[in-house]
Amino acid sequence: MDWYQEAFSRNTAIQDHLKGLLAIPSVYDPGTAAPGRPMGQGIARALAYMLDLCEAEGFRVRNLDGYVGYAEYGPEDAEHYVAVLSHLDVVPVSGEWVTPPFEPDVRDGKIFARGAVDDKGPAMASFYALKIVKDLGLPLRHRIRLIFGTDEEKTHRCMEKYKELEPMPVFGFTPDADFPIVSSEKGQINARILFSSEEEGQGGEGDYELLSFRSGVVANMVPEAAQAAVAGEPEALQTLEQAYQAYCSANRFKGGTESDGGTLMLHMAGKAAHGMEPHLGTNAGLRLVHFLKDFSWNRGAGHYLRTVDTLLHDDVHGRALGVAMEDDISGKLTVNSGLLQYDPQGDTFFHINLRFPICGDADDILRKLEEKLHAYGLTIEPPSLKKPHHVPGDHPMIQAMQAVYEAETGERAELLSTGGGTYAAHFPMGVAFGPLFPGMESTAHQPNEHMDIELLLRCTAMYARTLAELGNLEM
């Protein structure tokens, strides 16, 4: 069987249907949330689009109150089902795009749009993979279920709803990471670290007043932009502006200033990256904090700037926070501070997106964090937690997927670990499988996100062959 040829023969249809899905701005929108569309109108439209496509193909479909939907193919009386879990929500748009992010554009053999690789392209590849299995009339021992989530980029409420209403799959995969097979995922701790109003009010009269500081859009991205508003005497502001320009020039940073009466606005640019790989990005907020910390501030601004710099600057592995660790399976602990805010009239905080290896224990890490933060007068809000996840390499599903990958690529199917939090961790025997092959750079969460058309077809072929194998795997 030439699985790639099967995918290639459907190339035009795959692209057309993917463009339709990518044109839907499926960003979480509480302003349009309602019964039946808990994540907002855009996400509800994306879910309806995929379920309509599956129903037209003859798959059995169900929408679980707008939280999650699924489409199923295979013998209805089969005891077990194999799951493919993808998500239809996307992160908010940021940065400069060559073409509008929700007007999909094909150029240079790539399809550009928000969600192209994370995770709408892989979701469409999975749909066409199951369609190939159906079109070829291949026999199945188990049911195959395509599950479409709607809240992967935030809290995974969709999967909690699914687990509440549906039986668990016998095993499955999510096309939302890397090839060959991601069998381990780090645990996560997500929380805001708050500065008390008493601390903000401390400090004498300095040369400058920090009116506001903002950096970041979402917690699981390295912020690519930061802004600070500073008040002071004209001569002091001029000194600060000149020093900032020299700082940017000396370090080849992209920064700028704007003056408005007695206020100076400082802008800093960084490089966006996924929060699971903070070392691949440049945190604009921490870069700006590092410059501001040494100046003379009134009220609590100095405490905020110096504390953030001490605990986070140039340290993505949690050494200053006292939580650094690593193991051979999943690597080093990482910390991303995707949101930083100083607001004398509101909340002053930084957010941590901490991802810890299999060897770590969330309670122990939190205890160490609280001890460290208490020394700086800080408190940690009740965090959201995710346990580490691991599927052993001798599981029959793993071995079957390794055989498929090696047959399709001629390369060895090594088992991988990720700092990402995928849907795979919601099920005991879940792994991540693609869509990126070794050496490929991900543009997920970044401006001009895209997926190679060739990659889209290769994934479709890989998933079709995998579903044919898993759908008949003996238990």
- Express each pLDDT in 377-387 by its tens digit: 999 999 999 89
- Specify whether the CB–CB gap between 405 and 180 falls below 8 A: yes
In a domain, 18, yes or no: yes
CA 395 to chain CA centroid, nearest Å: 27
pLDDT one-digit tens code per residue, 278-329 = 999 999 999 999 999 999 998 789 999 999 999 999 999 999 999 999 998 8
Do 270 and 172 sit in the same domain of this protein? no
Do 194 and 111 sit in the same domain of this protein? no
What does the pLDDT average to over 52-67? 98
Catalytic residue selected from 6, 89, 118, 178:
89
In a domain, 266, yes or no: yes
Burial 240-263 (b: 16+ CB within 10 A, else e): bbeebeebbeeeebebebeeeeee
Catalytic residue selected from 6, 152, 309, 452:
152
In a domain, 277, yes or no: yes
pLDDT one-digit tens code per residue, 395-418 = 999 999 999 999 999 999 999 998
Helix (H) or strand (E) holding 310: helix 301-312
414 is a catalytic site residue: no
In a domain, 475, yes or no: no
Give the end of a domain, one of 386, 414, 436: 386
Do 29 and 19 sit in the same domain of this protein? yes
Do 366 and 288 sit in the same domain of this protein? yes
Q: What is the DSSP letter of 117?
A: I
Q: How many CB atoms lie within 10 A of CB 428?
A: 11
Do 333 and 417 sit in the same domain of this protein? no
Do 80 and 133 sit in the same domain of this protein? yes
- Specify whether the CB–CB gap between 174 and 83 falls below 8 A: no
Do 264 and 248 sit in the same domain of this protein? yes
Rounded CA Rg of the chain: 24
- Specify whether the CB–CB gap between 359 and 327 falls below 8 A: yes
pLDDT one-digit tens code per residue, 315-337 = 999 999 999 999 988 899 999 99
pLDDT of residue 198: 55
Sign of CA dihedral 40, 44, 45, 46: positive
Give the end of a domain, one of 386, 417, 449: 386
6 is a catalytic site residue: no
Do 423 and 362 sit in the same domain of this protein? no
- CATH number assigned to the domain comprising residue 250: 3.30.70.360
> How many Å apart are CA 14 and CA 456, to the nearest integer?
9
pLDDT one-digit tens code per residue, 450-459 = 999 999 999 9
Q: Is the pLDDT of residue 179 over 50?
A: yes
Give the end of a domain, one of 367, 386, 405: 386
Res. 24 pLDDT band, cuts 50 70 90: very high
Do 404 and 466 sit in the same domain of this protein? yes
Return the closest-CA partner of residue 335 out of 320, 345, 349. Answer: 320
In a domain, 167, yes or no: yes
pLDDT of residue 201: 46
In a domain, 356, yes or no: yes
What residues make up the domain containing 167?
3-185+388-470
Q: Cis ω on the peptide bond leading into residue 438 (within 30° of 0)?
A: no
pLDDT of residue 200: 47
Do 247 and 333 sit in the same domain of this protein? yes
> How many Å apart are CA 304 and CA 306, to the nearest integer?
6
Do 259 and 371 sit in the same domain of this protein? yes
| Number of compact structural domains in the chain | 2
In a domain, 215, yes or no: yes
Do 392 and 370 sit in the same domain of this protein? no
- For residue 276, give Cα distances in angstroms to 93, 139, 236: 18, 39, 40
Quick one: tokens of 403?
Answer: 């055989």
- Specify whether the CB–CB gap between 40 and 151 falls below 8 A: no
In a domain, 159, yes or no: yes
- CATH number assigned to the domain comprising residue 48: 3.40.630.10
Strand spans (E) along 130-286 = 143-149, 171-174, 177-178, 181-185, 187-195, 208-215, 221-222, 225-232, 255-260, 263-269, 273-274
